[in-house]
Chain A
Amino acid sequence: MRLTLRVWRQKNAGADGAMSTYEVDGISPDMSFLEMLDTLNEELILKGEDPVAFDHDCREGICGACSLVINGDAHGPERTTTCQLHMRSFEDGDTIDVEPWRAAAFPVVKDLVVDRSAFDRIIQAGGYITAPTGSAPEAHATPVPKPDADAAFEHAECIGCGACVAACPNGAAMLFTSAKVNHLGVLPQGAPERESRVLDMVAQMDAEGFGGCTLAGECATACPKGIPLFSITRMNREFVRAARKAR
């Protein structure tokens, strides 16, 4: 395959960025999108040019590092992570736009790499169960009904990639935050901190400069792990419940 790439290039956080155009040839449909970018970078290095910086690590769809907006869609045309997107999803001769996550709370580090540390701070604000090592009771002391365990898992699948934020017209982080609130909130082990968790995480989310939620639903459509949109409505319910209780 022969492709034209239009890639966002930005030297560092402080510099202005622009789209640059590159031609790549000899691309196999079996390549992953990132392997296609590897090919481009090998050529750029040999030409003495700066290769395109992008985040990636596990390349099997679980670490959440990769983060490209491809032709306007977070992670591209398939519902998966960028690393699991293959070139068979494109046509020979296509022009493909490649951009970083766009969100006020995710400043660009370089080219396609953004700073997602705001997500870590939301977790630090309350996305945990206080259970210091050694303090745990026997695992079978508290049975958890299977539907609850399954629901917790469904929300716990979030990989923290940030596609939800990138896809959201408001740059909101509601799906990310609600996934953790619901994962922990549905389990008996998470009950003691149920109220403080949702209040503190939402407060941190707002402090980080993420936008407000208008339930546009783009987040759930872009999520490579299928975190459902009702995760947000559930968190809203949790929030109202906790806020009332706190008053």
Chain B
Amino acid sequence: MTTSAPSGIPAYTDYATGEPVADTRAPAGPIAERWDTRRFEAKLVNPANRRKHTVIVVGTGLAGGSAGATLAEQGYHVVQFCYQDSPRRAHSIAAQGGINAAKNYRNDGDSVHRLFYDTVKGGDFRARESNVHRLAQISVEIIDQCVAQGVPFAREYGGLLDTRSFGGVQVSRTFYARGQTGQQLLLGAYQALSRQIAAGNVELHPRTEMLDLIVIGGRARGIVARDLVTGEISSHFADAVVLASGGYGNVFYLSTNAMNSNATAIWRAHRRGAYFANPCFTQIHPTCIPRTGDHQSKLTLMSESLRNDGRIWVPKATGDTRPPNEIPEDERDYYLERIYPSFGNLVPRDIASRAAKNVCDEGRGVGPGGQGVYLDFADAIARMGRKAVEAKYGNLFDMYQRITDEDPYRVPMRIYPAVHYTMGGLWVDYDLQTTVPGLFAIGEANFSDHGANRLGASALMQGLADGYFVLPSTINDYLARNPHQEPVDDGHPAVQEVLAETEDRINLLLAVDGDRTPDSFHREIGELMWEYCGMARTDAGLRKALARIPEIRQEFWRRIKVPGTGAEFNQSLEKANRIVDYLELAELMCLDALHRRESCGGHFREESQTPDGEAARRDEEFCYAAAWEFTGAGAAPTLHKEDLVFEYVHPTQRSYA
């Protein structure tokens, strides 16, 4: 793609294109029948034999928690890991808005096919149709399952479930539990998991972080993990490994992810052979609380359900510093309502985020540094009354007030986009199996269902679909076809090698004893990524980042300072070890963004836009998922394309006007 580096070593951007990759697990035939067909074709494991199989699950969020509980209910021996002190704290807990399901309780024209259609379209035609259709089918079962577990969804006075509408769709299919839907769904999964822990079917390792994958004979056979309290590094073996470790948004330093959410599990798996798909597909969420200064450690999301009743605006004039209440109506620009009259404030996230960036770039942003837009509830309060607004959004308003010290009932909120979700992840087939046999990836850790942009309230749906229903069906097939794997222990040379590499890396981090903290490097790589691989990307900018990342990596290994030892509770060491992986992942994200010379969903290349500034896809060249194969640290990876075929939803240029 470009010329080689002067030294003669192939440049990172000189990637090779290898054999295409294809999903061979989704059956042919009508899309609505594929999941039934696959479940029938999948081999089963005799219930009496299941307890002889061990499955490792990494992560206890919606995907991991539900998968661990369900596999254990089926009779498998589950060994589960989380870095938190309790499985209940996984970051799914912070999801606010809701969970989609094609129940059509509102009789407003919803159906499985419409949810499928909306998700494919919302993802800007970069997701696999078979997977998305299955997701829509399963959505209805998820709600049933969660209600049975005691999830206290919002209800109408008649006792039936309430729903609301969410960005990018025109039906009310989002079920919710005030602004804490993720919390309630996660506690449901956590409680189901707790029941299995008590029954002895799940062996839980809290405060334990996966640091590498053990592959033997081409199959995933276990992991290497570090006990975060004692520092002990140990190996754990299984017949299959499931990664449910979430997304990698923290590569940007500032994001709505939890502070300790990280990419290490999936990146280490990638280094051991799992392809990484569409790493540049990042979702920037439009409604976050703007940052207040350099001390900022993370950003807080305000549920986009606020866009149902709040109106987004900026002053018409640039540099207007009057307080919002003093700006008369005719000097305000409700820009989303103006540009997208039919969807208005409810356009998909990527469009709302980019529009906010554009008005701020024009100098019309509000608040400190001009990096914010107003989200105004004055009209909603006048229309519905303060009480109704309070009932619907009270906890979000409280949270906003606590953080900003401003009263959103009286002064419009200020919001700005922030990194929120990563659509990319480990490449998986219809069975959610990666390119390493026996290694599965579920939830945000995989790439499968959201294409280039995820619709609101679909992450919870996907996490639970994967964990409760998809994986527990498909993993049977793998285990049934590989019933007698050779026993492994620490003496195996492959295990020795992984253990030694892990210990070497930890020791090296401690030995450098430089003059820069882990956070200083995290902040530096994060700022670089936000600048060049954030809301708008260009060829020149991405090349700049790609030139800079190897330099930061070198500097990291020269100047990192990690106090203490490896044999103790050492949070600096945890951080530094995660940054090692960010510094490689960031490079792949930039390369992926550089190679995809089109705009689609959350990936906006300035060179590829329509005359009115919307994302312009280039289907003839880029209608594929980009699955990258690791070839060595800093070495150019190999690209494998999965061609995307659209039999049911014909790709059109997305239009929300």
Cα of A45 to Cα of B86 in the assembled complex, Å: 28
Which B residue's beta carbon lies closest to that of A145?
B159
With beta carbons under 8 angstroms apart, the residue of A62, A65, A110, A139 that contacts B103 is A139
**Residues B194 and A127 in contact, CB atoms below 8 Å apart:** yes
Proximity string of chain B (23-60) to chain A, C-beta cutoff 8 Å, 1 when within and 0 when not: 00000000000000000000000000000000000000
Cα of A80 to Cα of B401 in the assembled complex, Å: 12
Which of A29-37, A167-175, A229-237 contacts the other chain? Answer: A29-37
Cα of A56 to Cα of B73 in the assembled complex, Å: 32
**Interface flag for B489 (CB, 8 Å):** no
Cα of A123 to Cα of B186 in the assembled complex, Å: 14
- Nearest-neighbour CB distance to chain B for A55, whole angstroms, equals 7
**Interface flag for A116 (CB, 8 Å):** yes
With beta carbons under 8 angstroms apart, the residue of B66, B70, B515, B569 that contacts A109 is B569
**Residues A119 and B86 in contact, CB atoms below 8 Å apart:** yes
Instruction: Please judge, given known A-B contacts A116-B85, A144-B159, whether A124 and B148 are in contact too, CB under 8 Å.
Output: no
Residues of A within 8 A of B149 (CB): 128-129, 131, 136, 189
Which of B138-146, B214-222, B323-331, B438-446 contacts the other chain? Answer: B138-146
Which A residue's beta carbon lies closest to that of B518?
A45
Which A residues from 29 to 58 make CB contacts under 8 A with B?
A: 30-32, 34-35, 38-39, 41-42, 44-46, 48-51, 53, 55-58
Instruction: Please judge, given known A-B contacts A42-B517, A128-B191, whether A152 and B295 are in contact too, CB under 8 Å.
Output: no
- Nearest-neighbour CB distance to chain B for A38, whole angstroms, equals 6
Cα of A109 to Cα of B207 in the assembled complex, Å: 11
- Give 22 CB contacts A-B under 8 Å: A45-B517, A53-B571, A57-B89, A58-B93, A59-B297, A60-B301, A61-B399, A84-B403, A109-B569, A110-B568, A120-B87, A128-B149, A131-B149, A134-B145, A136-B144, A136-B148, A139-B147, A146-B156, A146-B157, A156-B152, A160-B86, A189-B149
Proximity string of chain B (148-165) to chain A, C-beta cutoff 8 Å, 1 when within and 0 when not: 111011111111110000
**Residues B295 and A31 in contact, CB atoms below 8 Å apart:** yes
Q: Which of A34, A110, A144 is packed against the most chain B CB atoms within 10 Å? A: A144
Residues of B within 8 A of A127 (CB): 191, 194
**Interface flag for A140 (CB, 8 Å):** yes
Which A residue's beta carbon lies closest to that of B402?
A84
- Nearest-neighbour CB distance to chain B for A149, whole angstroms, equals 4
- Nearest-neighbour CB distance to chain A for B450, whole angstroms, equals 22
Q: Tell me what chain A mostly uses at the interface: helix, strand, loop, or mixed.
A: loop
**Interface flag for A75 (CB, 8 Å):** no
Instruction: Please judge, given known A-B contacts A49-B563, A84-B399, whether A35 and B405 are in contact too, CB under 8 Å.
Output: no
**Residues A124 and B569 in contact, CB atoms below 8 Å apart:** no
**Interface flag for B69 (CB, 8 Å):** yes
Instruction: Please judge, given known A-B contacts A53-B569, A127-B194, whether A86 and B405 are in contact too, CB under 8 Å.
Output: yes
Residues of B within 8 A of A131 (CB): 145, 148-150, 192
Total A residues in contact with B, Cβ cutoff 8 Å: 79
Residues of A within 8 A of B610 (CB): none
Residues of B within 8 A of A157 (CB): 180, 183
**Interface flag for B94 (CB, 8 Å):** yes
Proximity string of chain B (80-106) to chain A, C-beta cutoff 8 Å, 1 when within and 0 when not: 000011111101011000000001010
**Residues A51 and B194 in contact, CB atoms below 8 Å apart:** no
Cα of A38 to Cα of B253 in the assembled complex, Å: 14
Q: Which of B157, B160, B187 is packed against the most chain A CB atoms within 10 Å? A: B187
**Residues A30 and B292 in contact, CB atoms below 8 Å apart:** yes
**Interface flag for B12 (CB, 8 Å):** no
**Residues B194 and A128 in contact, CB atoms below 8 Å apart:** yes
Chain B interface size band reads 35 or more
Given A127-B194, A139-B147: 15 more A-B contacts, CB < 8 Å: A12-B569, A46-B517, A59-B297, A60-B94, A60-B298, A86-B402, A116-B86, A124-B198, A128-B149, A129-B150, A129-B191, A133-B472, A143-B160, A152-B150, A187-B152
- Nearest-neighbour CB distance to chain A for B197, whole angstroms, equals 5
- Nearest-neighbour CB distance to chain A for B246, whole angstroms, equals 12
**Interface flag for A227 (CB, 8 Å):** no
Cα of A86 to Cα of B197 in the assembled complex, Å: 38
Q: Which of A35, A51, A120, A142 is packed against the most chain B CB atoms within 10 Å? A: A120
- Please report B residues at the A interface, Cβ cutoff 8 Å: 66, 69-70, 73, 84-89, 91, 93-94, 103, 105, 141, 143-145, 147-150, 152-161, 177-178, 180, 183-184, 187, 190-192, 194-195, 197-198, 206, 229, 256, 258-260, 292-293, 295-298, 300-301, 399, 402-403, 405, 468-469, 472, 515, 517, 519-520, 561, 563-564, 568-569, 571-572
Residues of A within 8 A of B297 (CB): 32, 34-35, 38, 59
Proximity string of chain A (173-185) to chain B, C-beta cutoff 8 Å, 1 when within and 0 when not: 0000000000110
Residues of A within 8 A of B141 (CB): 134, 136
**Residues A140 and B160 in contact, CB atoms below 8 Å apart:** yes
- Please report A residues at the B interface, Cβ cutoff 8 Å: 11-12, 28, 30-32, 34-35, 38-39, 41-42, 44-46, 48-51, 53, 55-65, 78, 80, 84, 86, 88, 109-110, 113, 115-117, 119-120, 123-125, 127-140, 142-146, 149-150, 152-153, 156-157, 159-160, 183-184, 187, 189-190
With beta carbons under 8 angstroms apart, the residue of A132, A144, A160, A189 that contacts B155 is A144
Residues of A within 8 A of B89 (CB): 57-58, 63-65, 160
Cα of A140 to Cα of B144 in the assembled complex, Å: 8
Residues of A within 8 A of B194 (CB): 120, 123-124, 127-128
**Residues B94 and A30 in contact, CB atoms below 8 Å apart:** no
Residues of B within 8 A of A28 (CB): 292-293, 295
7 tightest A-B CB contacts, nearest first: A143-B159, A128-B191, A136-B148, A131-B148, A124-B198, A153-B152, A136-B144
Which A residue's beta carbon lies closest to that of B207?
A109
With beta carbons under 8 angstroms apart, the residue of A35, A58, A160 that contacts B94 is A58
**Residues A189 and B180 in contact, CB atoms below 8 Å apart:** no
**Residues B88 and A64 in contact, CB atoms below 8 Å apart:** yes
- Nearest-neighbour CB distance to chain B for A232, whole angstroms, equals 20
Q: Which of B157, B256, B297 is packed against the most chain A CB atoms within 10 Å? A: B297
- Nearest-neighbour CB distance to chain B for A170, whole angstroms, equals 23
Cα of A124 to Cα of B492 in the assembled complex, Å: 36
